């Protein structure tokens, strides 16, 4: 990520603001470092918005993470466990074991009836949903939420914004929150430290040379990557 207006770039050399740059220690590989913005930052900020604490002082909560094997979701599962949350996650059948290894307490295959309903296998209601995919209606989320539960949508549509405003105006207890990503140097430094200390790992879907960047981008747009797609400068 280079800046808010121009998003990211794939190049051997790029100019970025010092306010968006942190040191990468030798314990963190280039691929691990490159994977943190924007996916890990998005996961961290979504959880922090929900009140999750990472210093051991937070209250136990139940969280649902959709698309938990994707770039944001795979980080969100790990960060939620670091925040002492009970994690229910959705993903495709081929990634169920992976998501369990990342720390999820319960995993739903999103293609099964249980996965489509988003119901917790243990009957829990969700205090927070980190919604990392598309195509799930509010009517599916609502009956699974706790009395004051919230859905944090990381890819909000105009309809998400509209429904969110309506819920605020009507003082609804169950909330829909469009996530506004904020460039935060301290958040990035925090994530780098977690990787350095072995508390956060990057799931790598595939690696591509810079000359193969178009193929890497096409794979990303398919929407079925497991973890992060990495473009490496070395040929």
Q: Degrees (nearest 5) of the Cα angle 184, 187, 188? A: 90
Q: How many CB atoms lie within 10 A of CB 19?
A: 9
Q: How many CB atoms lie within 10 A of CB 5?
A: 5
Q: How many CA atoms lie within 13 A of 179 on its CB side?
A: 27
Closest to 109 in 3D by CA, of 68, 62, 78: 68
Summarize pLDDT for 170-196 with one digit per residue, the tens: 999 999 999 988 888 999 999 999 999
Summarize pLDDT for 18-37 with one digit per residue, the tens: 888 899 999 999 999 999 98
DSSP string, 140-188: HHGGGEEEEEEEEESS--HHHHHHHHHHHHTT-SSEEEE------HHHH
Residue 199 has pLDDT above 60, yes or no: yes
Average pLDDT for 119-130: 97
Average pLDDT for 113-131: 97
pLDDT band at 124 (very low <50, low <70, confident <90, very high): very high
Average pLDDT for 65-84: 97
Summarize pLDDT for 33-59 with one digit per residue, the tens: 999 988 999 999 999 999 999 987 888
CA distance to 1, 45, 51, 97, 152, per residue, from 183 (Å): 9, 10, 19, 33, 18
| The pTM of the whole model exceeds 0.85 | yes
Average pLDDT for 140-152: 97
pLDDT of residue 184: 85
Q: How many CB atoms lie within 10 A of CB 57?
A: 7
Average pLDDT, the chain: 92
pLDDT of residue 235: 53
Q: What percent of the chain has pLDDT over 70?
A: 97
pLDDT band at 138 (very low <50, low <70, confident <90, very high): very high
pLDDT of residue 188: 94
Separation between Cα atoms, residue 187 and residue 184, nearest integer Å: 5
Average pLDDT for 119-135: 96
pLDDT band at 4 (very low <50, low <70, confident <90, very high): low
pLDDT band at 89 (very low <50, low <70, confident <90, very high): very high
pLDDT of residue 208: 93
């Amino acid at each position: 990520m280079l800046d808010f207006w121009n998003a990211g770039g794939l190049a051997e050399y790029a100019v970025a603001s010092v306010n968006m740059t942190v040191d990468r220690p030798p314990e963190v590989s280039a691929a691990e470092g490159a994977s943190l913005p924007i996916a890990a930052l998005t996961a961290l900020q979504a959880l922090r918005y929900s009140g999750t604490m990472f210093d051991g002082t937070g209250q136990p909560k139940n969280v649902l993470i959709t698309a938990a094997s994707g770039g944001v979701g795979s980080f969100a599962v790990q960060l939620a466990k670091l925040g002492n949350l009970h994690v229910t996650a959705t993903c495709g059948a081929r990634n169920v074991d992976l998501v369990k290894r990342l720390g999820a307490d319960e995993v739903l295959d999103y293609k099964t009836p249980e996965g489509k309903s988003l119901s917790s296998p243990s009957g829990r209601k969700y205090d927070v949903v980190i919604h990392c995919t598309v195509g799930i209606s509010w009517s599916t989320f609502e009956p699974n939420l706790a009395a004051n539960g919230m859905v944090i949508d990381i890819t909000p549509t105009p309809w998400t914004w509209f429904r969110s405003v309506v819920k605020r105006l009507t003082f609804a207890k169950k909330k829909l929150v469009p996530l506004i990503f904020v460039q935060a140097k301290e958040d990035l430094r925090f994530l780098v430290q977690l990787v350095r200390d072995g508390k956060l790992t990057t799931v790598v879907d595939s690696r591509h040379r810079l000359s193969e960047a178009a193929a890497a981008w096409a794979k990303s747009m398919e929407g079925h990557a497991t973890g992060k797609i990495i473009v490496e400068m070395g040929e």
